[in-house]
Amino acid sequence: MNRRLLLALPVGLLALPGKVRAEVVVLRSQSLVEDQVIRISDLFDGTTRGDVVIGAAPAPGQRYVIEASQLASIARRFNVDWRPTSGAERSVIERPGRALSREAALEVMRAELHGLGLPADAELELAAFSPPILPLNALPRLSAEGGHYESASNRFAATLIVMADGMPSIRMRVAGRAIATVPAVIATRRLAVGDVVGPEDARLVKLRAERVRPGTAQRLEDVVGMQLRRPTSSDLPFMGADLMAPHVITKNEVVMMVVEGPGLSLTTQGRALEAAPRGGRLNVMNLTSRSVVEAEAIGPGRVRVRLGAGPIRTAERS
């Protein structure tokens, strides 16, 4: 009777309600963590102890490689039912991050140096700047202190302070030089000879003064509405010598010749022998007399001839 009871005992225990089955724990070969800590669930699947913290996470943008012996030690310490089988097992814990933008650092530096004599339109060039890595979704809080600026050499330095949730604060000394800039109007697209520059074809930017040639256009109003003597490519500055008032008369165009004098106004047709902008001088052939006279372009398809102006020459009839 006792022997029969002992044989039946394991079966009876397995059948008891509420008995927990053994965990089936699987190693995770790779995990991404966005928190400041590593939990058991970042290393092992299938354990009820997944929320237990086992240590600090790597810094943003860094990773840990945990080898088999370390994994076995962690499993023993935290009562996780896992053991290495080959000794080659490992788990890679990686924490994603993003680099602080250079523009954000420059904005803070500029604010710190402005009261120390830094020109408002100067471009800041940083020397050997290695941007700190921030947690992926963190909003950085930036400040600067201890600024120094030398106007004679244009050199500057300041301490940049970076703080964000999920990381310790960072203090780093940043140095560089200030470079003078000047305004310049550049093309937003490729333009051909004879094109008239529209408002969408040009934009005003700041360029390093050392790279700007004399004669570069520096105001939009000096460029928009003007016609090109030479082609230009996108992102290249407009040169004043390459701009002219747009032609209102084109070469070989049939135009209305207006002859004006005191109490007199006559009109006749002529052919423009050259192109001209408004107010420009050009030679026009009278289609009736075949004589060539000098005229002034007064509008699209219209020229004015001074009363009494003699012919320059008479065109030969073909």
pLDDT in tens, 207-216: 999 889 999 9
Is 262 strand, coil or helix? coil
Residue 16 maps to a domain: no
| CB neighbour class for 49 (10 Å; exposed up to 12, middle 13-18, buried from 19) | middle
Does residue 10 have a pLDDT over 50?
A: no
**CA proximity to 162, closest of 106, 100, 96, 107:** 100
| CB neighbour class for 94 (10 Å; exposed up to 12, middle 13-18, buried from 19) | middle
Residue 2 maps to a domain: no
**Both 259 and 285 in a single domain?**
yes
**CA proximity to 244, closest of 272, 268, 217, 210:** 217
Residue finishing a domain among 149, 179, 209: 179
Tokens for 73, please give them: 């030690």
Per DSSP, the residues of 161-230 read: EEE-TTS--EEEEEEEEEE-EEEEEEESS-B-TTPBPPGGGEEEEEEEGGGPPTTB---GGGTTT-EESS
Give the number of C-alpha atoms closer than 13 A to the C-alpha of residue 312, restricted to the C-beta side. 13
Does residue 3 have a pLDDT over 60?
A: no
Backbone angles phi, psi at 131, to 5 degrees: -65, 135
Residue finishing a domain among 53, 72, 95: 95
Structural domain harbouring 78: 21-95
Does residue 20 have a pLDDT over 90?
A: no
Say which CATH number the domain at 201 has. Answer: 3.90.1210.10
pLDDT of residue 22: 59
pLDDT of residue 310: 61
Residue 109 maps to a domain: yes
Question: Which contacts qualify for 311-317: CB closer than 8 Å, 24 or more apart?
Answer: 311/286, 312/283, 314/289, 314/290, 315/285, 315/290, 315/291, 316/290, 317/290
Tokens for 276, please give them: 């001209």
Residue 9 maps to a domain: no
Lowest mean pLDDT across 11-15, 97-101, 135-139, 176-180: 11-15
Domain count of the fold of the chain? 4
In tens, the pLDDT along 79-89 reads: 999 999 999 99
Average pLDDT over residues 97-120: 92
Residue 14 maps to a domain: no
| CA separation for the pair 136, 56 (Å, rounded) | 17
**Both 133 and 162 in a single domain?**
yes
Cβ-Cβ contacts under 8 Å for 285 (sequence gap 6 or more) = 270, 271, 273, 291, 292, 315
Residue 144 maps to a domain: yes
Tally the residues of the chain.
318
**Both 166 and 107 in a single domain?**
yes
Average pLDDT over residues 189-215: 94
In tens, the pLDDT along 229-283 reads: 999 999 999 999 999 989 999 999 999 999 887 777 889 999 999 999 989 999 9
For the question of whether the overall pTM of this predicted structure is more than 0.75, the answer is no
**CA proximity to 183, closest of 214, 208, 147:** 208
pLDDT of residue 308: 67
In sign, the C-alpha dihedral spanning 190, 195, 201, 206 is positive
Residue 15 maps to a domain: no
Residue finishing a domain among 147, 162, 179: 179
**Both 114 and 175 in a single domain?**
yes
| CA separation for the pair 285, 293 (Å, rounded) | 6
